[in-house]
Structure 1
Amino acid sequence: MDLALILLLSVAAVSGCGVPSYQPDTNRVVNGEEARPYSWPWQISLESFFPTCGGTLIAPNWVLTAAHCITFHTYRVVLAEHDMNKEEGPEQFIMVEKMFIHPKWNDNCVSCGNDIALLKLETSAVINDKVLPACLPQHSETLAHNEPCYPALSSANTQLIWTGGPKATTLQQALLPVVDHSICSRSDWWGSSAKTTMICAGGESKSACHGDSGGPLNCKGRDGKWYVQGVTSFVDGRGCNTPQRPTMFTRVASLYGKLNVLKQ
């Protein structure tokens, strides 16, 4: 059994994950809005020389993000950040010690899948009411068509949820219902670009957009906890809100044990 599988299985069983102290407001989200501060306490901002991507805290010293986000040698993560233009007090800044990219990731073919990476932090995050790991789904878990899920859209250069929209400085959220694979893989939708190792969600007026890469697709389980079911991967090249081209997320539940983290 490789260390990635041990890591993911152990984190999935950790108690206290996925239950924010500040509950997200999911009643009024239509086309996206500013998230309630600290209601997605596992959301991180991934930074090198500048903010580049989002990500998810899945354990005090582990972060999940997209493989295509890893283009530099040095990164840090910022936790408990709501407004990027202000230092509000609860932020935590932690350097990344090691980066583990899926061994089958091809940076010349994002639609080929495997767009996922694990980041080991130099020090563990301080878990408090504003910083908490997300829960991980069970191995091979699937989502129902139209299941309501919410990407927390990182304020790292986020263009809200439509092409050409204004850049946001605060964390955003949007309701993106899941689109079943049988629909998303139709020839007039994503076709063969929609793999079973991906999740399609949203579409048309609702979508993740540029700058949201690596962030979580948050879906609430029957136990009332929030699970990171997907990692934001790609949108249609013609625009974030192209009809029948929902946002594509790497499906976390399909990749247990395949990150092949063999050294720590």
Structure 2
Amino acid sequence: MPLTPLCPSCRQPAQVRRFAASGGAQLELDLCFACQGLWFDPQENTRLAPAAVLQLFELLHAHRGDAHRPLSERLRCPHCSQGLVKGYDIAQGGRYVTYRCAARHGRFSTFGSFMVEKGFVRHLSRLEIEALARRVGTIACTSCGGAVDIRHEHACPYCRSALALLDPEAVDKALERHGRAARQASAQAEERSPEALADALVALERNRAREERERQRERLAGRNSEQFDLVAAGIEFVWSLLRR
């Protein structure tokens, strides 16, 4: 009988979910919503079918209010328990952090890094960063999750990744690039000013934070309540358009 896989970060049982793979097969991915991470066995991250992306969006949206734990300082492979090696990859969406098993059992990615890898984000312009900075002080880096004070920093001080946003147009282009033949996002290609985009993201994040406070009276110890989560806000923003 197979053992339940453990999250590489918190070492709690991961949720095993089935996703469609290219060629008609299926993949089983290990997800930890509390740590916002996915475990991929070798090559699984490149074999996800485009239709599985919408399924993943739906899951992330459904768990948007879950309490989030910070990643452990030492991540371990769920197969051999060896420490994972932190590294960096570059994709069209920019630079992102990944954690690999030295024995080649697979890799661990945060939800944000996975979105960067698949090109579902675009870099924020300087005007958009300045518009957000007038409304919030600190955001979470899409790539590594580090706190970025966008009033003074226009890139992540920890992984040096450019600040990125999950955006309807970027998602639509990425799905097209991956050859999606099924249901297509009907996001309007209307022009959005930096101020309008900042207002929309702040409103969505405030709504999400309000829902979380209602479900949990005590926030997770050590979490910075003033830190703005671009991944969560972006997922909500895109999902609201996909479901129109």
Query: TM-score when scaled to structure 1?
Result: 0.25
Query: TM-score when scaled to structure 2?
Result: 0.26
Which entry has the higher C-alpha Rg, 1 or 2?
2
Q: Which has the higher contact order (CA 8 A, sep 6+)?
A: 1
Name the structure with the higher strand share: 1
